[in-house]
Amino acid sequence: MLELENPGFDAETFLASAGLGRSIVRLLGEQNIFSQGGPADAVFYLQTGRAKLTVVSKNGREATITLLSAGEFIGEESLTGAGALHMATATCITDCTVLRIEREEMIRVMHEEHPLSDIFIKFLLARGMRIQSDLVDQLFNSSEKHLARILLLMAEFGESDESKKLIPEISEESLAKLIGTPKSSVNFFMKRFRDLGFIDYDGRIRVHRSLLNMILHDQLPGDNAVKPAITGIPRRK
């Protein structure tokens, strides 16, 4: 039986470089990687930066599906078939470097190179669990806890033992859109987190590990909503 897998194939090298059927794109914050309703003809791999997936309803209401960080794939719906359309918009939160992999090349490599297909399948499973956790968070938790979770996800606690982390620059208006609450509420919650010693907030936001501890133990003062466990974001080492 013919063995298709290339013994010299390295998945990290493939995802880090341009080549046949793939190119590296550099985008600025607030630029779209792709747009809802546009042709889904490629899979994208976020090499650096932070992004978000959003959807807009027919009446113009926007909702954030999930946040994205380096090491994640986007646009996997392109693999469902030729002529597929993007069901959401992927927008850069910070400056991003993205590897664009044409649909045909992604399908070929997944069939022939098991290391990459293993990475991609594990990512899809983690993404599904992540979105389920996000949905539970939005349905059952207060806006204050939802904001706390967003800050923790952006700070990416669990990647190191740092006691506090500076998150990518983001406005209160953008945070309000992420959690679906008025900007005035975000401003109130941010001041409250600062007063409680959970964050430093002087234009840029630095998140303290104490916020993670409070959320994990469901001890956010004055709020008794149930908090699901935070699901880690897969990253390329």
pLDDT band for position 132 (cuts 50, 70, 90) = confident
Question: Rounded mean pLDDT of 186-195?
Answer: 92
User: How many folded domains does the chain comprise?
Assistant: 2
pLDDT tens digit sequence for 50-88: 999 999 988 888 888 888 889 999 999 999 888 899 999
Q: Tell me how far apart the alpha carbons of residues 42 and 23 are, in angstroms, rounded to a whole number.
A: 11
Q: What is the CATH number of the domain that holds 191?
A: 1.10.10.10
Check pLDDT > 70 for residue 202: yes
What is the pLDDT, as a whole number, of residue 194? 92
pLDDT in tens, 17-49: 999 999 999 999 899 999 999 999 999 999 999
Q: Give the model's pLDDT for residue 222.
A: 53
In a domain, 175, yes or no: yes
- CATH number of the domain that 111 lies in? 2.60.120.10
pLDDT at 169: 81
pLDDT at residue number 130: 77
pLDDT given for residue 41 in this prediction: 95
Report if residue 232 sits inside a domain. Answer: no
User: Which structural domain range is residue 111 located in?
Assistant: 11-136
Residues 56 and 132 in one domain: yes
Q: Mean pLDDT across the chain, nearest whole number?
A: 83
pLDDT > 70 in the chain, percent:
83
Query: How many CA atoms lie within 13 Å of 129's alpha carbon, on the beta-carbon side?
Result: 13
| pLDDT tens-place string over residues 215-224 | 766 656 554 3
Last residue of a domain, one of 116, 136, 156: 136
Query: Are residues 21 and 126 both part of a single domain?
Result: yes
Same domain, 99 and 42: yes
Between 26 and 202, name the one with better pLDDT: 26
Note whether 46 and 72 are within 8 A (CB).
yes
| Residue 107 reports pLDDT greater than 60 | yes
pLDDT of residue 81: 82
